A and B are shown apart, each in its own frame.
Chain A
């Protein structure tokens, strides 16, 4: 599981947005992330796998293992659905 190349996470006016930077920039591809979304995205950028993401969430947030697994999986499914995963 890997993020597609060419996306850029930035803070703009208090929002965390992910934008495609490719030459065929499609602004409809712009998404915003909440705090945990940003947390997971940044780890994905560093090449983390699903299991590592779950561990990271467990270490960072007050959540049980089942909840963390569920949350990470749902996030990845959404990214995949919107075409952000390679």
Chain B
């Protein structure tokens, strides 16, 4: 059955099932009239190409893919990252899978207790709005379904590397562009690619970007927070 939702500040129509339906529940929203986005999951079309995926998994991946593609039309994109909020500001930690994004944001929860929560553990949406950049939880939040239906000002994005010692520094130039592009959804087609590059350009000009070397001690969270918030942990 088709239901209506409010996701990343946009009204969304979606007819889905299973895990996707379940994870979208906190986003249900009554809409009269047209929605900004109508999600079309192409899972049924591509099912044969992914024989190892369950329908549940396929629907989840393809519905998310369509949402994030259409989000580009509203100056928004998905950054493959774990997003943690402290004192009302969101910080995104991005890296290849397996690098330890969630491990790192968990250190933030340890350090900051009640002041912190996970906004989205895998695929937060970010949007450029009139009053700045914001991060949003979405129903597509990774295996643990750690996500909240909240809009939070975006305080910074860090590209994370595992290291023995903790260190953080501003990140710019070609390497930063390459590392960030890798973790942003890039739907096929020239229009989408151009839009992604326009948004990345603005993101890098308007939001602090960092390179974080970190280990698995809670000190890593203190070092990252110190630079990214400009305050002592």
Contacts and interface: CB of A to CB of B under 8 A. Distances in A.
A19 B201 CA distance: 14
B115 interface: no
Contact of B204 (A13, A19, A32): A13
A42 B196 CA distance: 21
A13 B198 CA distance: 10
Interface in B159-218: 172-174, 176-178, 181-182, 186, 188-190, 193-194, 197-198, 200-201, 204-205
A13 B190 contact: no
Contacts of A60: none
A8 B178 contact: no
B172 A13 contact: yes
A32 B190 contact: no
Contact of A12 (B177, B186, B193): B177
Interface of B is mostly: helix
B186 to A, nearest CB: 6
Interface in A15-41: 15, 17, 19, 21, 23, 25, 27, 30, 32
Given A13-B204, A19-B197, A8 B190 contact: yes
Contact of B177 (A15, A21, A25): A15
A4 interface: no
Contacts of B204: 12-13
A6 B185 CA distance: 19
Nearest to A6: B190
A7 B181 CA distance: 16
Interface in A40-84: none
Contacts of B181: 19, 27, 30
A21 B200 contact: no
A58 to B, nearest CB: 29
A2 interface: no
Interface band, chain B: 20 to 34
B197 A32 contact: no
A32 B175 CA distance: 10
A27 B178 CA distance: 7
B197 A15 contact: no
Nearest to B198: A10
A84 to B, nearest CB: 16
Contacts of A14: 172
B190 A11 contact: no
A14 B200 CA distance: 12
A13 B197 contact: no
A14 B205 CA distance: 9
A8 B201 contact: no
B63 to A, nearest CB: 21
A32 B201 CA distance: 14
B40 to A, nearest CB: 19
Nearest 4 Cβ contacts at the A-B interface: A13-B204, A12-B201, A21-B193, A23-B188
6 contacts: A12-B177, A13-B172, A17-B174, A17-B177, A21-B193, A32-B174
